[in-house]
Structure formats: C-alpha cells, structure tokens
Amino acid sequence: MKRILISETPNLIGQKVKLSGWVSVRRDHGKLIFIDLRDRSGIIQMVVIPDKVEAHQISKEVRSEYVITVEGLVKERPGGQEKNENPLGRVELEVEKMEIISRVEGELPFDVSKKDLDVNLNTLLDNRNLSLRNKKVNDIFKVYSQILKSYGEVMRERGFLEIKSPKILSAATEGGANFFKIKYFKREAYLAQSPQFYKQAGVGAFERVFEIGTVFRAEPHFTTRHVNEYTGLDAEMGFIENFSEIMDELELVMKRIIKDVKEKCAKELAEYESEISVPENFPRIKLVEALEILKKEYNKETEGIDIDPEGERLICEWAKKTYDSDFIFITHYPASAKPFYTMPSSDDPQFTEGFDLLFRGVEIATGSQRIHNYQQLVNNIKKHKLNPEDFKDYLEVFKLGMPAHGGWGLGSERIVQKILGIASIKEAILFPRDVKRLAP
C-alpha cells in the first residue's frame, strides 16, 4: 500500500490507507489507545483497539516523537462534524497495522506538542531540531518560505534578473570594521557584508538584478533585532531619474509580499493573531522632519542628526496613528552615516539620496541612489577616509560607463519577525548565528 498524506484522509472515509509520521501525543483510555499522528500536512487522531493484537502491543511502546507507519480504516470521528471546522478533526484512523520506524533515545527536553512552548530562548535554540517540530514554530518558516517565494516572483515580473554573487571577497564591502576576516589559502579575505559591489556590476550588464543571499556582519550586538548571519533580499536597478523611483519599486514589492502572505498564510497569521495595515501609499518623511516629530509629539531629543531604535519605534507609532500605516520611509540621512557609494543629495550634499524603510518599529530595508560617475566615486571614497586602491576591482566597472542607478537591501528575517510579532529575530532563523552561538 502506498503512503498518503494525513490531509487526504477526509476524502477517503471508509477506505483503508497507509500513513507515516511522528507521534505527537499518546493517550491511554482503558484498553483503548489514542495516538495523534503528525506529518507535513497535518495531525490526525488514531485509535488502536485491543482486537488488533499486534498493533495494540506495539502502540503501548510508542511515545512522543517516535516515527511510525500505520495502516488502517478512515472513519468519521464521533461528534466530529459538530465540533470541528478543521476537516482533519472530523475523521480518525482505526489502526490495523503499526510499525516503529525510529525511536527516541533518552528523554525529550520539553513537550513539543504544546501550542506555545513554555521555554526560554536559549533552550528553544539549543534544542532547535526539536523545537522546529512544534506547530507554531513550524508556522514561522511557512510564512518565511512564502516571503522568499513572493520576493522572487515579483522581482522577476518587474524585469529583474536573479544573480548569485560571491561571499568570499578580497575587500570589505562597506569599509569600516564590521567584517569577518578569513584565511583564503595564503591570503586574507573577507565574508561579504552585502552583495553591493556585484549587484552594481550587474546593473552594468543587465540593468536590473536581484539576489536572495547570505550576508555576514561582524557586529557584537546583543539585541532582539540583530544577528551575524542573515538572508538579504537585495536589488539594484539602472536608468533611474531619482531615488524616489527606488522607493516606488520597493513599496510595490512589499505590498505584493504582504498581499501574498495574507492570502496564502492566513492560518499561520491567525495563529499569531497578526493583522497588517498597508496604506495606499507608504508615508515618506526626511530624517530631520522625523526628529522634529519626535521632539514635538514625544518630547524625545537626539544627539546630532540621527535616530535610535526607540526613535524608530516611536516614529512608526506616529505613522500608524497619522496614516494607519505599519510602514514609513525615512529619507535623507547624513552623508557621514552612509557608505561611500551613496549619492549625495542634490539639495544639500551633507545629506544623501537614500532612505530606510521602517516596519512596525524596526528598520527592515536601507537603500539609495548610488554614485555612478567614476571620479565622483573616487573622491567620495577619499572623503570617507578610505583608500581607492583597496577598491580597485570595484571601481573598474565605473570606467566602462554606468547608468544612474540605485537599489536596496532588505532583511528577510526582520520582515518575518515583525509580521508575526515574535520577540526575537533569532526565532525567525532556522539555526541562528550570533556573538555567542555557533551551534547547533
């Protein structure tokens, strides 16, 4: 008999089927044994009666997370029609045969069948192989998968070519100190802080490119929003007239992602009680305007022209109150705070033609128009107290003629974190890497 998925059983009442999966819970009621079996498609209740002697004997051995295969008759569950909206709650399997495929060695550190795992973050991550089997934890990655799928789809529809850039580089992408240095045979190399240099080169060949790829940042953060390895959703587009076009494109992309997640992950969003407000247009304000709003509305002052995490949270609160928007663009950051390739503002060169996109209190994207003129780029590298010789290979493409261009980098895990309202970004990463964590 060929194995079927649990989700198929409501259409097979009265038929014998073969199921395989993990034991979620076993309950003994007198001589009857009830087992909840889980596979990738759902959970079904099974009942083992004493008449099926061999299966009944085997069922006494199984416990949570044993992997088993069963054969049996799909039946309507008594009272299931009235009590359950979920089709799987309306059927059960009367087991006739059972085989243990794999046993659990030792004791489980926690009960993975609970709706909410009552464990701290370190326990959750130390036992990641187990915690990922919890339905609510599992749902995080169904939403994440949809986000990655939607991003790829909408980018291709918008004429962007997908690329994969190298992650071992001869020079640090952003300059500065937040890079991982590695030994590359007899030379030193760096792990990519972003695909920035290569996606700009991609514009020189393809006009529009995007990448879904790993990013490494050697930043010693201990926050709920930072990790040292994450998956970036990058894009770069050529022949723009101004940096507003980049924001227009990113806004369209984010609206598509949210629309798809709402439609295709409705059950997962309901599990997390998540509702997202997406206005017709994302509000856009300059950084100096944001700082004025923070001072006027929240009596918050900052040192210099900068916005801290609390300021980002408060300005998102203001956007929600003023525009009913969970998103807001902050533009025109100081040139001193942005990478050397960022285009200075035509209005005031101490500021930049760049932006951050905030979502529910956290920056999820940063982007800008880039400098496309070779000599201007060399001069700006020097202004940032960097040596143009260290970026010789990068600069070569600008000698060959480059269109006005720009792009963005999105943090995929932050999108997941804020959509679902989970406490730490580490919960949105399969196996996170931070200052202290290199395993599992």
Q: What average pLDDT does the segment 191-198 reach?
A: 94
So what's the pLDDT on residue 176? 61
pLDDT digits (tens, 9 = 90+) for 280-299: 999 999 999 999 999 999 99
Q: Are 262 and 277 in contact (CB under 8 A)?
A: no
So what's the pLDDT on residue 390? 86
Is pLDDT above 70 for 107? yes
Grade residue 81 by pLDDT with cuts at 50, 70 and 90: low
**Domain 6-102: CATH class, spelled out:** mainly beta
The pTM of this model reads 0.94
Q: What average pLDDT does the segment 193-201 reach?
A: 95
So what's the pLDDT on residue 171? 76
Q: Where in the chain is the domain with CATH 2.40.50.140?
A: 6-102
Residue 367, SS3? strand
Grade residue 85 by pLDDT with cuts at 50, 70 and 90: low
Q: What average pLDDT does the segment 156-178 reach?
A: 87
Q: What average pLDDT does the segment 152-165 reach?
A: 98
So what's the pLDDT on residue 276? 86
Selection from 213, 204, 196, 197 nearest residue 162 by Cα: 213
pLDDT digits (tens, 9 = 90+) for 228-277: 999 999 999 999 999 999 999 999 999 999 999 999 999 999 999 999 87
Where is 330: in which H helix or E strand?
strand 327-331
User: Which of 93-107, 172-186, 379-393 is predicted with the least confidence, judged by mean pLDDT?
Assistant: 172-186
Question: Running DSSP on this structure, what letter comes out for residue 342?
Answer: B
pLDDT digits (tens, 9 = 90+) for 402-425: 999 999 999 999 999 999 999 999
Is pLDDT above 70 for 173? no
User: Which of 115-119, 124-128, 168-172, 425-429 is predicted with the least confidence, judged by mean pLDDT?
Assistant: 168-172
Q: What average pLDDT does the segment 382-408 reach?
A: 94
Residue 336, SS3? helix
Phi and psi torsions of 386, nearest 5°: -115, 160
Q: pLDDT exceeding 90 applies to what percent of the chain?
A: 89
Instruction: Tell me the chain's radius of gyration from C-alpha atoms.
Output: 27
Q: Where in the chain is the domain with CATH 3.30.930.10?
A: 135-428
So what's the pLDDT on residue 278? 85
Grade residue 84 by pLDDT with cuts at 50, 70 and 90: low
Q: What average pLDDT does the segment 59-68 reach?
A: 97
Q: Hey, what CATH topology would domain 135-428 get? A: BirA Bifunctional Protein; domain 2 (3.30.930)
Instruction: Return all residues near 190 (Cβ < 8 A) that are at least 6 apart.
Output: 168, 169, 170, 171, 172, 173, 179, 180, 181, 182
Q: What average pLDDT does the segment 129-134 reach?
A: 97
Q: What average pLDDT does the segment 309-315 reach?
A: 96
Q: pLDDT exceeding 70 applies to what percent of the chain?
A: 98
pLDDT digits (tens, 9 = 90+) for 36-49: 999 999 999 999 99
Is pLDDT above 80 for 185? yes
Query: What's the angle, vertex CA 434, arms to CA 430 and CA 436, rounded to 5?
Result: 120
So what's the pLDDT on residue 184? 97
